[in-house]
């Protein structure tokens, strides 16, 4: 029997409505779990499916496959938003969850690059695209569905529960990954056990479909349909009318900044700890998980607060504070998570002395280009070791040298060398560089005894609280900007372009910037610039909506 969803005359939610919101949120948690498994396992997936390219390119390419799911989210928003505005919210939910669950399960059974070659990453990207399409139709429906059940004056509070689902889904993925990894051991997990969390999704799919079947249609949509007022062309009404200007402002003045703060505070922080600071995966996940547990209630707090003081003030404040504090916070992460990097880079900075024309941006998405100049070889070795470096120019044609403090190691040109000679010179260079780095105090891995876990968790929690500031009120703000007849479509597109494109590509762009410059903090410029853009545009051009009555 479907749960009743008729409006509560008193302006409050009935027990039945609360069950509807809980069921909707729980189903959305499972969908986010499916989507973010890939992000949590990106480093392992890079080895499994992108082993045909060099290590730096492989990881960036794995992040690009992660971002591919985000790239198509706006198209999912268009397709499923139109269906949701024309046919209904409930049935759209069922379609999106089935596509998501099956795609996630298939990742778990997909053969690796070693087994089927280039077909493996191609199929993986196709499955990521299907996941992105499904999620593109999911969020707008869930936020709209909950908002259309909530009474005026409490919309920020009740939609904030939907806002927790992305973080709870990420947390659930980390818990299951840690459980499996602990049960079977790290070696087995990286070999085959990483597939288990993906396979578990088939169980969650069954639970999610059952949950979605219990839901009844939104009361506002039912009323609109009964009166014959639903849109017959939601795409045209949403984007080819004066409403299109509001959609553009919602993108640039709200969701773009919200997205980069979300992904910088959760995923980029996770990758920064693991890739740049060389903290082991289990410790990274535990500390991120602790910060998520501490920070998640703030989604509800800021949603509640937005009912009192407004959505816009909180989102704008979150963007501005994040932009102003990212550099000191991430430098503090280095200080407390791997102080040896900070100490060594201060006492014995790494510098590549090279002909600037021989230093390339080391990203090759098709795996055909060889980075064999002496500068590229040196840069690859330092990046792989997690050592920040700068580059100083030498005359054209010079062979690159790496100085570690007062110690100097000469690189070599890989062009024209036989496989044996390349291996011999490579071993000689790598050995000398490792010895110089070790002598200067650069660690191969973060020393567990020197990780100040309470301080790292505190910093990560601050980053998560920034996430809750921008994300907690955003659903209510977007819902209130658009009329019921085109709400699903209108709010979905700016949300998914913001989160899918501006946010989803953040890890890829930021780590590419780090790889290009050798500065482990350089990637922060991307979220900072986008957050500041949103602060300016949102502050000047978007209206406050907390007192809007969406039932009229």
Residue with the larger pLDDT of the pair 328 and 213: 328
Q: What is the domain count for the chain?
A: 2
397-440, pLDDT tens digit by residue?
999 999 998 899 999 998 888 888 888 998 999 999 999 999 99
Sheet containing 407-410: order of strands: 389-393, 350-354, 401-404, 407-410
> If DSSP codes are grouped into helix, strand and coil, which group holds residue 229?
coil
Residues 436, 452 within the same domain: no
Using DSSP bridges, classify how beta strands 401-404 and 389-393 pair: parallel, antiparallel or unpaired. Answer: unpaired
Using DSSP bridges, classify how beta strands 407-410 and 389-393 pair: parallel, antiparallel or unpaired. Answer: unpaired
Residue with the larger pLDDT of the pair 302 and 64: 302
Residues 325, 473 within the same domain: yes
| Res 13: pLDDT | 53
CATH of residue 316's domain is 1.20.1250.20
176-196, pLDDT tens digit by residue?
988 999 999 989 998 999 999
Beta carbons of 51 and 114 less than 8 angstroms apart: yes
Nearest to 146 by CA among 300, 305, 263, 295: 300
Nearest to 174 by CA among 76, 270, 19, 37: 37
128-164, pLDDT tens digit by residue?
889 888 877 777 777 777 777 777 888 899 889 888 8
Element counts in the chain: helices (H) and strands (E): 26, 4
Q: Is residue 3 part of a domain?
A: no
| Res 2: pLDDT | 44
Residues 117, 167 within the same domain: yes
Residues 476, 420 within the same domain: no
Calpha distance 21→8 (Å, rounded)? 14
Residue with the larger pLDDT of the pair 162 and 306: 306
Please state the length of the chain: 552
Residues 73, 313, 294: CA angle, nearest 5 degrees: 70
Q: Is residue 343 part of a domain?
A: no
Q: Is residue 550 part of a domain?
A: no
**Residue 282 banded pLDDT, cuts 50, 70, 90:** confident
Q: Is residue 5 part of a domain?
A: no
C-alpha neighbours within 13 Å on the C-beta side of residue 1:
5
Q: Is residue 516 part of a domain?
A: yes
**Residue 229 banded pLDDT, cuts 50, 70, 90:** low
Residues 96, 197 within the same domain: yes
Residues 373, 332 within the same domain: no
Least trusted range by pLDDT, from 84-93, 356-365, 428-437, 490-499: 84-93
Nearest to 475 by CA among 355, 325, 307: 307
Residues 409, 468 within the same domain: no
**Residue 30 banded pLDDT, cuts 50, 70, 90:** confident
Q: Is residue 7 part of a domain?
A: no
Residue with the larger pLDDT of the pair 534 and 237: 534
Res. 244: pLDDT tops 70: yes
Q: Which domain holds residue 535?
A: 15-338+448-541
Residue that finishes a domain, picked among 395, 414, 440: 440
Residue that finishes a domain, picked among 382, 416, 440: 440
Q: Which helix (H) or strand (E) holds 401?
A: strand 401-404
Residues 403, 419 within the same domain: yes
Average pLDDT, the chain: 84
Percent of the chain whose predicted confidence (pLDDT) is above 70: 86
Residues 321, 426 within the same domain: no
| Res 384: pLDDT | 77
Phi, psi of 338 (to 5 degrees): -150, 75
Residues 176, 324 within the same domain: yes
Residue that finishes a domain, picked among 440, 473, 499: 440
Q: Which helix (H) or strand (E) holds 253?
A: none
Q: Is residue 8 part of a domain?
A: no
Tokens found for residue 157: 């509070």
Q: Is residue 1 part of a domain?
A: no
Res. 90: pLDDT tops 50: yes
254-272, pLDDT tens digit by residue?
999 999 999 899 889 988 9
Residues 477, 355 within the same domain: no
Residue with structure tokens 């002395």? 353
CATH of residue 397's domain is 3.40.30
Residues 302, 354 within the same domain: no
Helix, strand, coil percentages in the chain from 3-state DSSP, rounded to 5: 75, 5, 25
Res. 306: pLDDT tops 90: yes
As a three-state string, the secondary structure of 457-524 is HHHHHHHHHHHHHHHCCHHHHHHHHCCHHHHHHHHHHHHHHHHHHHHCCHHHHHHHHHHHHCCCCHHH
């Amino acid at each position: 029997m479907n749960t009743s969803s008729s409006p509560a005359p008193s302006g409050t939610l009935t027990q039945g409505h609360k069950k509807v919101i809980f069921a909707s949120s729980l189903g959305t948690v499972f969908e986010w779990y499916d989507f973010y498994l890939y992000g949590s396992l990106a480093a392992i997936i890079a080895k499994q499916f992108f082993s045909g390219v060099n290590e730096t390119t492989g990881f960036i390419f794995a992040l690009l496959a992660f971002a591919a799911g985000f790239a198509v989210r706006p198209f999912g928003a268009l397709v499923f938003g139109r269906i949701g505005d024309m046919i209904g919210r409930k049935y759209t939910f069922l379609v999106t969850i089935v596509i998501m669950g099956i795609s996630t399960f298939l990742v778990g059974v997909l053969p690796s690059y070693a087994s089927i070659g280039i077909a493996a990453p191609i199929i993986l990207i196709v499955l990521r695209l299907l996941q992105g399409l499904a999620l593109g139709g999911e969020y707008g429906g869930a936020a709209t569905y909950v908002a259309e059940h909530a009474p005026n004056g409490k919309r920020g509070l009740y939609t904030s529960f939907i806002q927790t689902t992305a973080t709870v889904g990420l947390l659930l993925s980390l818990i299951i990954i840690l459980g499996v990894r602990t049960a079977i051991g790290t070696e087995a997990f990286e070999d085959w056990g990483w597939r288990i969390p993906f396979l578990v999704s088939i169980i969650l799919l069954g639970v999610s479909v059952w949950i979605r079947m219990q839901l009844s249609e939104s009361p506002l949509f039912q009323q609109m349909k009964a009166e014959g007022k639903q849109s017959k062309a939601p795409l045209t009404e949403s984007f080819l009318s004066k409403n299109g200007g509001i959609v553009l402002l919602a993108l640039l003045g709200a969701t773009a900044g919200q997205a980069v703060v979300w992904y910088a505070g959760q995923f980029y922080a996770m990758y920064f700890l693991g890739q740049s600071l060389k903290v082991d995966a289990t410790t990274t996940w535990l500390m991120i998980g602790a910060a998520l547990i501490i920070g998640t209630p703030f989604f509800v707090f800021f949603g509640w607060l937005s009912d009192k003081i407004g959505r816009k003030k909180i989102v704008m404040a979150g963007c501005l504070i994040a932009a102003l504090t990212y550099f000191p916070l991430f430098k503090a992460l280095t200080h407390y998570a791997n102080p040896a990097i900070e100490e060594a880079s201060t006492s014995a900075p790494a510098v590549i002395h090279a002909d600037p024309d021989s230093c390339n941006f080391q990203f090759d998405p098709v795996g055909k280009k060889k980075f064999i100049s002496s500068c590229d070889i040196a840069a690859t070795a330092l990046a792989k070791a997690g050592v920040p470096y700068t580059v100083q120019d030498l005359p054209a044609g010079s062979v690159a040298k790496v100085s570690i403090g007062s110690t100097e190691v000469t690189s070599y040109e890989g062009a024209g060398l036989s496989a044996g000679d390349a291996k011999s010179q490579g071993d000689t260079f790598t050995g000398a560089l490792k010895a110089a780095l070790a002598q200067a105090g650069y660690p191969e891995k973060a020393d567990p005894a020197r990780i100040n876990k309470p301080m790292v968790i505190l910093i990560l929690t601050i980053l998560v609280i920034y996430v809750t500031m921008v994300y907690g009120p955003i659903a209510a703000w977007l819902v209130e900007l658009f009329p019921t007849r085109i709400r699903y479509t209108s709010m979905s597109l700016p949300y998914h372009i913001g989160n899918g494109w501006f946010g989803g590509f953040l890890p890829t762009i930021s780590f590419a910037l780090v790889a290009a410059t050798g500065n482990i903090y350089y990637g922060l410029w991307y979220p900072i610039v986008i957050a500041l853009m949103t602060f300016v545009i949102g502050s000047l051009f978007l209206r406050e909506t907390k007192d809007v009555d969406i039932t009229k």
